[in-house]
Amino acid sequence: MVKISDFENLKGTRLVISDTSEYDGRKVKMLRMDILKMSQNAFSESLGVDISTIEKWENGISKPSNTAQKLLYLLAKHPELMNDLYRIIDERKEVTSSDHSAD
């Protein structure tokens, strides 16, 4: 991983912050539906926000915070990161004795 501090004293370099302010309602909805293929409920739970927040973002009533916009930006570039925000447990799977360690 690149550390910003490694470049602080390197002449001719500068830090340019990616523009993450582009997430209006249309882009949030496109990210959720077309890229991540998630319901509003699953998306809101994964991001840790209320479903009404997702609805407000998508309807243009409010915009995601700067921090949320950075997360949305990263998820759009790397949708596989969503897999790190939740996991699916198959509750239909039968528990066998090999699933438990010996007491």
**pLDDT tens string 20-62:** 888 899 999 999 999 999 999 999 999 999 999 999 999 999 9
Instruction: Confirm whether 101 is domain-assigned.
Output: no
Instruction: Indicate the pLDDT class of residue 95, thresholds 50, 70 and 90.
Output: low
User: Is residue 89 in a domain?
Assistant: no
Structural domains counted in the chain: 1
Asked, for residue 62, whether it belongs to a domain, the answer is yes
The answer to whether the predicted template modeling score (pTM) of the entire model surpasses 0.75 is no
Tens-digit pLDDT profile for residues 50-93: 999 999 999 999 999 999 999 999 999 999 999 888 777 778 87
Question: In CATH, what number is assigned to the domain containing residue 39?
Answer: 1.10.260.40
Single-letter amino acid, residue 87: R
Does residue 59 form part of some domain? yes
Helix (H) or strand (E) holding 44: helix 40-47
73 lies in which domain range? 25-84
Please, what's the b/e burial string for 60-97 (b: 16 or more CB within 10 A of its CB; e: otherwise)? Answer: eeeebeeebbbbbbebbeeeeebeeeeeeeeeeeeeee
Cβ neighbours of residue 7 closer than 8 Å, sequence gap 6 or more: 13, 15
Residue 14 maps to a domain: no
Place of tokens 């809101």: 44
In a domain, 58, yes or no: yes
Share in percent of the chain as helix, strand, coil (round to 5): 50, 0, 50
Residue 9 domain flag: no
CA neighbours within 13 Å on the CB side: how many for 52? Answer: 0
pLDDT value, residue 89: 74
Domain-embedded: residue 96:
no
Residue 16 pLDDT = 77
